[in-house]
A and B are shown apart, each in its own frame.
Chain A
């Protein structure tokens, strides 16, 4: 099984360029959108510019980049919706896609009817679809709503339906655009579970999202797109580099990596010019989920700063934080702290 792109480029024709010339980019701002170029008197946006990669069985590729960097366009080219201007995409099977929620569903029809249509679209027979329906219905957790028209669904409910239908009827390769964030926490866990479980472990998934936490949990490869070009490609280190670039005041990629791979609570002083004095960083991946962040006041009493914190995370120090203060992270059920750190 494979999915690969070979020197892929795609141009979108611009019907009009009213301003005659491209705007000068704001200094220091990240470049947005594709490059605009003119060819034989017509203007084009180069949405994807010379992108190549190759994925094999079980690969999960994360796409990161600013708005308009070409993530969605690349996904659509992979799914066969846009035809490449030059270069090519080759895959061993059908590529299924989940994009914007309003796409590929009929608002007036019931949830069940939409599932049937999705199945037909994926080339399944009526009998195959009927056989798969109970399991899909169970997975969506939508119950009686499946008999109601889609327009009565909330965004998150529609997303549940879309995800269940697409994964149930997708054959082997799945591309997904930024939308996972629409579901509630419970369903997000279900999604991640389904994408990483045994049955689906042999598939190829390409995923674009701004939620780097989510991408880290699913992906094993990453591509950072900028103006349609590959700025960096590799393992999930690329996600760290990207995060560091969008938050220049935050920790660098190297420190993020160190935190992710270590265990403990650290103090990271801010660089010059920052509004804050620094960050607290921690990683207790094996700890219980009911973690709290505490501070010891000048009187030596332990007080709660954050009622619930992630097992791995960062806290931007508030302006009351002074050198000499001690912080602790611990479980709500035990007085013993997992980690302790004193502000130097």
Chain B
């Protein structure tokens, strides 16, 4: 119980260190694009280019209209880009901050928040492109689309507990990081981003068993089809309930040993 209080204290003091983790995250991005001409515009440029090529190539293989498929891929791939980057970054959150962890007594959630915030900065720019793509929306706007905002909030919460679980485990078991990276590459094909699931058949089953397709659905469905995907929402909320508990347990159990692992 004592450990649990200490863990809570870590999180509450980290939450107050907003300028610290936001600046560290900004610095990460600056490091990545230092001495480039385009700078952060690279994020938008590479995303837009990717989507265009994907629509051009895979659009040939479907029978939906080019407009609809374009939005479908832009939204799906935009969300996937965030999810994929976040899962991989969650693994490296502690390893990446090794110099700080071994050099200062900063509470560890700072590094998790730093990783999440960094990904949101990138996601923010991708969201801009996604918002632009909505210009070609094929259905009329309704209030259902507003459910996107709670959905994005769920993304943020999920990222936090995911980082709290993956960061220490990947620091301890280095194979896990590579396993996660490899499986994310496979899961990409198992997620309905480049293909549209039929109402039955093997692809439909695949989409239903894959938790990430539910995460995608809670944002994409209300925007594209003005539909609130109740099944997907319950799956996502269920995962979050389990994840929050698991995140708290893993964080509490590992916080004393992280300095030995990184």
Instruction: State the CA gap A125–B17 with chains docked (Å).
Output: 10
Instruction: State the CA gap A104–B256 with chains docked (Å).
Output: 20
In the complex, the answer to whether B105 meets A79 with C-beta atoms within 8 Å is yes
In the complex, the answer to whether A121 meets B20 with C-beta atoms within 8 Å is yes
In the complex, the answer to whether B103 meets A97 with C-beta atoms within 8 Å is yes
Chain B contact residues: over half helix, strand or loop, or mixed?
helix
A-B complex: 4 closest residue pairs judged by Cβ atoms? A103-B103, A80-B105, A104-B103, A83-B256
Task: Scan residues 87-139 of chain A and give those whose CB is less than 8 A from a CB of chain B.
Answer: 95, 97, 99-100, 102-106, 108-109, 113, 116-117, 120-121, 123, 125-126
A12 interfacial by beta-carbon distance below 8 Å: yes
B256 partner residues in chain A, CB cutoff 8 A: 83
Tell me, rounded to whole Å, the shortest Cβ–Cβ distance linking B173 to chain A.
Answer: 11
User: Which residues of chain B have a CB within 8 Å of any CB of chain A?
Assistant: 17, 19-20, 23-24, 27, 30-31, 34, 99-106, 256-257, 259-260
Instruction: State the CA gap A82–B257 with chains docked (Å).
Output: 8
A100 partner residues in chain B, CB cutoff 8 A: 102-103
In the complex, the answer to whether B31 meets A99 with C-beta atoms within 8 Å is no
Known contacts A120-B20, A121-B106, A82 near B99 by CB under 8 Å: no
Known contacts A12-B260, A109-B30, A104 near B104 by CB under 8 Å: yes
* Chain A, interface residues (CB within 8 Å), range: 20 to 34
Chain A contact residues: over half helix, strand or loop, or mixed?
loop
User: Which residues of chain A have a CB within 8 Å of any CB of chain B?
Assistant: 12-13, 76, 79-83, 95, 97, 99-100, 102-106, 108-109, 113, 116-117, 120-121, 123, 125-126
Instruction: State the CA gap A120–B257 with chains docked (Å).
Output: 25
A126 partner residues in chain B, CB cutoff 8 A: 19
In the complex, the answer to whether A81 meets B20 with C-beta atoms within 8 Å is no
A102 partner residues in chain B, CB cutoff 8 A: 99
Name 20 A/B residue pairs within 8 A (Cβ), A-sorted.
Answer: A76-B259, A79-B105, A81-B102, A81-B103, A83-B256, A83-B259, A97-B104, A99-B103, A100-B102, A102-B99, A103-B99, A103-B103, A104-B99, A106-B31, A108-B30, A109-B27, A109-B31, A121-B20, A123-B17, A126-B19
Tell me, rounded to whole Å, the shortest Cβ–Cβ distance linking B171 to chain A.
Answer: 13
Tell me, rounded to whole Å, the shortest Cβ–Cβ distance linking A241 to chain B.
Answer: 32
Selected from A13, A97, A108, A116, the residue in CB contact (under 8 A) with B31 is: A108
